[in-house]
Chain A
Amino acid sequence: MSDLARVEGEQQGTICLVRVHGEIDLSNAHEVSSEIGFAMGQEARRLVVDLSDITYLDSAGVALLLRLAERLRSRRRELQLVVPRGSPVRRVLDFTGLPRVIPLESRLEDALALGDHALPDDFS
């Protein structure tokens, strides 16, 4: 893929951790979305997307995250975002009210520590 954004996926039990580096805009939102999809294994119940290394994200990126959350939800998977305080991305997400829809942590450890109980297997 191009060097505008880079996606690295990592499986930690039922948690899939995806780190996205670089910038997300209209030109690569779809691509980043697909990459994240590829990175996530079948057995993963929860997807943690770490946006700490994102330097630019606009409403195209917000839309990407919302679509991603919706898709996961339809497959009964959970999406959790990691965005540090003070990150330029945080302001966009806060303004669009995204944290009300997608759980958002400031620190990766907190997100991972939540475990995968939020959506039990038998929950339907």
Chain B
Amino acid sequence: MATREETPKAPPGGLVYAATAHPWSYTASVLLVAVAYYTAAKLGLRLALVGRNITPFWPPTGIAVVAFLVFGRSVWPGVALAAFVVNLPISTSVLPAAATAAGNTLAPLVAATLLAKVGFRREIDRLRDATAIVFVGALLSMSISASVGTGVLVASGALPADELPGSWAVWWAGDAMGVLVVTPFVLSLVLPWRRPGRPRWRHLEAAVLFALTATVSVVAIGADPHLMFLVIPLLGWAAWRFQQRGAAPAALLVVVVASWAAAKGVGPFRTGTMLEKMLTLQAFNATVAFCSFFFAAVVTERMHAHQALERAAAGLEARVRQRTSQLSATNLQLRKEIAEREESERRLRQREGQLAEAQQVAHFGSWEWLIPQNRVSWSDEMYRIHGHVPQEFPVTFETAVDQVSTEDAARIRSNAKDALRRADDHDLPNIEYRITRPDGAERVLLGEAKMYVGPNREPLRMVGTVQDVTEARKAEREHRIAETLQRGLLPDRLPEVPGLALAARYVPAGADIAVGGDWYDVVELPSGHLGLAIGDVAGHGPRAAATMGQLRMALRAYALEEPSPAEVVNRLDRLVSRLLASEIVTLVYLVLDLDSGMVRFANAGHPPPLVVGSGGQTAFLEDGLRSPLGCDDPGLPVEASFRLVPGSTLLLFTDGLVERRGASIDEGLERLAAVATGCGQDIEAFCDQLLCSMVEDDAADDVALLVIRPVPLTGRPLLRVPAEPRVLAPLRQTLRRWLRESDADPHVANDILLACGEVCTNVIQHAYGANEGPLEISLDVRDGTAEVTIRDQGCWRPSSGVHGGHGLPLIQELMESVELSGGPDGTVVRMRRGVSNGSDS
């Protein structure tokens, strides 16, 4: 029943329930209408005032109008059929009954049609709907049924002709009342329940209201006729609180009670003629119906208007809010733009003022050449750059290029000529050129220029800037040189020393100066010992880097010659004092005997190396100290020594690691010792950790780090060295250590050492001829037996000369088993010997 008309102008007959959709539903609708009509008629006839068939209140007409409004006019057969069945027993014959039924059908049909025409809405929520149903639906249309019905009664002789006006009035009033009271009631029942969730007290209120209405109606109408009009306020209440939904049932209730009273002749209807009773009843009923209707319609309309107003207000409010926020955003933007504009204007003014100053500071000059007049104007700084007093003389193109070196002047002329030939605005290629000032000084300038042409594309003027880049170019060159130097001066990679872990870091100061005078070095000495050095040349830049490079090479040279660290440092001191005067250099040089772990060292004014024990205990090596190199302080060679036990770590560093602004070196050393305590297994990670916690991002000084840690040779060391005589002594060092750590008997160790020496000597002498090649030695001790495997990738040539040839028999004598296998890919010698003396032969 939710269907309602969306527009007042409904299609003809278009009460949308036009039951054409399905034959069954149509039939059902017709039957439903017929039954409803018949039932309502039976009820209405009980209130008959005239004879048996004229009643002051005829509900079926209301049912019929509702049926046509809801189901469409096509259900008229239902109405006609029911009306005929109702009228047949109370009519004189079939014909009058059919005629009356036709009138009863026609009247609601006309009412529905007219209502559709005037745009009636079933909700009756507007005043015009109330007006329409009262005047068009009830009063006008029902005159048809009244006229037909009473006409038939008179014609059939059932009614005397003189009673016709009274009967017509009763009929007409009854039908009209039927429409006025029943139609709104039924329509209110089939109205869509738009607000289902009504509060419970509303239901209570409705119940109280109807109970009150019923009581007042019955009491007032039945008992005391003077109180009859008390029902009006109740109807007003119903209309006000529940609109049509409340007013229609209340009106129906009151009308039914009044009609019943009239029919029964009680209350106000106790006396008087039928016409008087009828007039009273109809007047009362009309008042009730009109009141309830109009009041409800007006209230509904006002409520709708109020809601519409609220919606509109809410929408307006939202729009205002939105617009306000837009406005304030725009306003903010505008204010910001104004502020920015002011700021940029201020900056522009400031910049103009600063321009002259800036030109001077940046050695940046500007010029303009008015081509037709051949007049050049220079900024003050242009004069200064060229070595003149500002505005000293008028400038022309020729005087402008006068100071430029010959070949650069030619380039400038050629650029200018090309620019003059091109008849459009354009940038000239940038040019770097040299000028000579009047005092003979040479400067490097960078020129940028732009050409402007006139309206007829004739060359008009050229403007440009000139920057004195002499210092910048010099700095760039120095930087490049220094960087190259630095890269060439630090070791590419640290040597691989068996049984020793080495790690190093070099961090240049800041970001702008990529070079410094710090360095470190690791030298494999002929004795098999390892020379370790770390040093610092005061200052930065190419000069410090160059000095560092020279010192590094000198140290290597002295170290190869001289086993004593103190003597090496002494010689370096002499070198610095005599050849590199005015340089201050600090340095620590250490010689590590890998076999015994003994370290001898000399320190020339450098921060003391740090030793970190396996348990994290730290000690600075503060002995062996003398003044820095180049101090012209010929002291006695000072040397100290200590034993670097396995598991401990030696840290060499430059002062950049421990220096920090606002803190003393001693504090830095303390901090370093604290950080170094946490030195773990991985010395690479240790280096990173040190740099991370010790060095600030914008460190003022370079930092160099060298970390050394003896590691056990146990397991299966693999040594890979070039097959050259110089590797023999270091190899013996490693082998001795390995044999000692493998608990080999000293005599057995000597034999194995000798056997290995023989094989290696053989490889070096014979495997590669004049070429270079690798020598690979793998060591293993298992179940008390040492196994040494020596490989090469060459082929052994027969020993030449009378003094050779001892090698192989000697090896076989020294070792318990010797396997020699040779092939095109090289030779492998595998030797075994029990490490305890008992297995000695």
Contact = CB atoms under 8 A, between A and B. Distances in A.
B757 A58 contact: yes
A35 interface: no
B560 interface: yes
Contact of B561 (A2, A27, A58, A62): A2
Nearest to A67: B803
B735 to A, nearest CB: 11
B754 A27 contact: no
Contacts of A28: 526
Interface of B is mostly: helix
A25 interface: yes
B729 interface: yes
B347 interface: no
B721 to A, nearest CB: 12
A4 interface: yes
Contacts of A66: 802-803
A25 B728 contact: yes
Contacts of B560: 2
B408 interface: no
Given A2-B561, A66-B803, A23 B754 contact: no
A24 to B, nearest CB: 10
B563 A3 contact: yes
B810 interface: yes
B590 to A, nearest CB: 16
B725 A56 contact: no
A14 interface: no
A76 B802 CA distance: 20
A57 B441 CA distance: 69
B803 A26 contact: no
Interface string B747-763: 00011011001100100
A88 B803 contact: no
| Residue of B750, B757, B765 contacting most chain A CB atoms (<10 Å) | B757
Contact of A92 (B528, B729, B761, B810): B810
Interface in A5-46: 23, 25-28
Contact of A26 (B527, B764, B802): B764
A58 B803 contact: no
A27 B526 contact: yes
A27 B760 CA distance: 12
A63 B804 contact: yes
A23 B732 contact: yes
B729 A4 contact: yes
A58 B758 contact: yes
B807 interface: yes
B754 A88 contact: yes
A59 B526 contact: no
| Residue of A59, A60, A66, A95 contacting most chain B CB atoms (<10 Å) | A59
Contacts of B725: 25-27
A59 B528 CA distance: 20
A63 B725 CA distance: 15
A13 B561 CA distance: 33
Nearest to B728: A25
A59 B807 CA distance: 6
Contacts of A58: 754, 757-758, 761
Interface in B695-735: 725-726, 728-729, 732
Contact of B806 (A62, A67, A91): A62
A4 B806 CA distance: 23
B816 interface: no
Contacts of B809: 95
Contacts of B726: 27
Contacts of B527: 2-4
Contacts of B728: 25-27
B402 interface: no
Contacts of B342: none
A59 B758 CA distance: 7
Nearest to B560: A2
A36 B728 CA distance: 22
A47 B809 CA distance: 29
Contacts of B757: 25, 56, 58
Given A26-B725, A27-B726, 11 more contacts: A2-B560, A3-B525, A25-B725, A25-B729, A56-B732, A59-B758, A63-B803, A63-B804, A91-B754, A92-B754, A95-B810
6 contacts: A4-B528, A23-B729, A25-B757, A59-B761, A95-B806, A96-B806
